[in-house]
């Protein structure tokens, strides 16, 4: 199923390059929203789009910024949901089916603090839940946003870089080896 999702989106982006940044931003946004992120594996598309960047089909900067801003806005919404609905969020799926998640989330958040937002960005199941817990447990807004935006830009770069820069590096190695 994963390939069935990534290939058509990547091909659409290749054919309609003007839509590349908005699509990457929207997918990163959806992947970063609590609960919705379970159904939107955007990282695969970002890696594939990175290969299009490396092949010279797409520009790096606009795609990188769109992915990072989309991810940061999704986390911001997850934080806001946790902050404003902290007393009711444990009744929402999947937390109502797995109440131990709140306990584990609290322990993770209190143990890692703002660094937990950065670390959580790079682990699928934590990506959207850590911001939710940051809101529930009232992490200061400015501290959350600092960790949120800095980790979002790092995350987007890490996902785009293998394709964006790996293709060029591979061609240099190939040329040096005379292949």
Distance CA 50, CA 99 (A): 38
pLDDT in tens, the chain (179 residues): 456 778 888 888 889 999 999 999 999 999 888 777 666 777 788 888 888 898 889 999 999 999 999 999 999 999 999 999 887 777 776 667 777 777 777 787 778 888 989 988 888 767 778 898 899 888 999 999 999 999 999 999 998 988 777 656 555 545 555 55
Nearest Cα residue to 160 out of 32, 23, 18, 51: 51
Read off the pTM.
0.84
Nearest Cα residue to 163 out of 39, 72, 65, 64: 64
Q: Are 56 and 94 a contacting pair, CB within 8 Å?
A: no
| Residue keyed to tokens 């929203």 | 33
Taking the CA atoms of the chain, what radius of gyration do you get in angstroms?
18
């Amino acid at each position: 199923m994963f390939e069935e999702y990534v290939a058509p989106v990547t091909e659409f982006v290749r054919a309609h390059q003007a839509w590349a940044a908005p699509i990457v931003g929207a997918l990163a946004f959806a992947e970063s929203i609590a609960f919705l992120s379970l159904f939107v594996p955007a990282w695969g598309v970002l890696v594939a789009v990175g290969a299009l960047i490396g092949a010279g089909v797409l520009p790096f900067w606009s795609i990188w910024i769109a992915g990072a801003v989309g991810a940061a806005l999704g986390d911001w919404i997850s934080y806001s949901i946790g902050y404003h609905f902290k007393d009711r969020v444990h009744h929402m799926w999947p937390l109502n089916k797995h109440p131990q998640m709140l306990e584990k989330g609290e322990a993770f958040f209190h143990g890692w603090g703002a660094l937990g937002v950065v670390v959580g960005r790079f682990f699928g199941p934590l990506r959207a839940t850590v911001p939710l817990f940051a809101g529930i447990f009232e992490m200061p807004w400015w501290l959350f946003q600092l960790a949120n935006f800095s980790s979002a830009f790092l995350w987007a770069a890490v996902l785009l870089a293998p394709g964006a820069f790996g293709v060029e590096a591979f061609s240099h190695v190939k040329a040096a080896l005379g292949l």
